[in-house]
Amino acid sequence: MKRAVVIVVVGLLAAVASYCALYYCGTKQHREMMESPAPELAWLRKAFRLSDVEFERIRKLHEGYLPRCAELCQRIAQKNSELQHIVSGPNVEANAVEQKLKEAGELRVECQKNMFNHFLEVSRQMPPEQGRRYLQWVQQRTLTPEHDMVRRHRSDHAMEHH
Amino acid sequence: MKMKNNDTELKSLLQEWRVTSPLPPRFGEQVWKRIERAEVPSISLIDAVRAWFAMAFARPAFAVAYVSALLVMGLTLGFVQASNKATSLERQLEARYVQSIDPYQRGQ
């Protein structure tokens, strides 16, 4: 009987140990990326198989792009706020609204141009094949009107359900 | 003395006694079954399981099969869970990158 109990315990320990070992090994790479200082860049490095040199150049580009992007976002928010102020006033001037809409639109275009230039620069730092793949992938998720339409449709749909 | 006389009388009476009523059908078989049941010691379910357990794990082939089955089960479950977790983390990281470069997606 004692021998049987020992075998049962050994079996259970083997099952638990094998589960933990495989789970640990299977998620190690992703856990390390999540714990890195810039998880999104660590993911980019893995997804597009970047070398150390390529990654370092892209990291610098990314860090340089963020302040410019934030500045444009701030200016767009400012224009939206000004537009809101005009629209909520007692006498709404169509010309003033049109002007603000035009300015906000120009800033959005500038923001998208800035994004696209960044994508191009990043793709140029990658090996040619990976660069093409990156451009295709990033445009599908950011700049294409289809993506925006689908996103808006989803959020509208979600609001209807709520 | 009197007791000895009574005993003799009883003996003679018993010898004179004749059973006239018929026996029930399959009487002999029923009697043997009752004897068998009385002879077999009754064991509880737990005892039976313990006995089976000890007997089964005494066979090396069974013990090896048991440990191997649990090992494979652990590996399979670990692989499936790790794959699901890795896919989920991959999506999270991808979304984080897109949000970091696209200001229109930061609020989501």
Dump pLDDT digits (tens) for A107-130: 888 988 999 999 999 999 999 999
CATH for A39-161, options being 3.40.50, 2.60.40, 1.10.10, 1.20.120: 1.20.120
pLDDT at position A160: 47
Across the interface, whether the CB atoms of B56 and A21 are under 8 A apart is answered no
Per CB-CB distance under 8 Å, the chain B contacts of A142 are: 98, 101-102, 104-105
Dump pLDDT digits (tens) for B28-82: 889 998 888 877 777 788 888 888 888 888 899 999 999 999 999 999 999 999 9
For A111-127, the DSSP string reads HHHHHHHHHHHHHHTS-
Over residues A18-42, the mean pLDDT reads: 94
What is the enclosing helix (H) or strand (E) of A70? helix A52-87
Per CB-CB distance under 8 Å, the chain A contacts of B101 are: 62, 65, 69, 115, 118-119, 138, 142
Residue of A nearest to B56 (CA): A4
ipTM, two decimals, is: 0.78
The sign one gets for the Cα dihedral A25, A30, A31, A32 is: positive
Across the interface, whether the CB atoms of B85 and A23 are under 8 A apart is answered yes
- Rounded alpha-carbon distances, angstroms, from residue A19 to A22, A26, A97, B28, B38: 5, 10, 63, 62, 51
Q: What's the pLDDT band for A159 if we cut at 50, 70, 90?
A: very low
First to last CA, chain A: 61
pLDDT at position A134: 95
Domain boundaries along the sequence of chain A: 1-35, 39-161
- Minimal Cβ distance to B83: which of A26, A138, A151: A26
pLDDT at position A57: 95
First to last CA, chain B: 116
Please say if the pLDDT value at position A10 is more than 50. Answer: yes
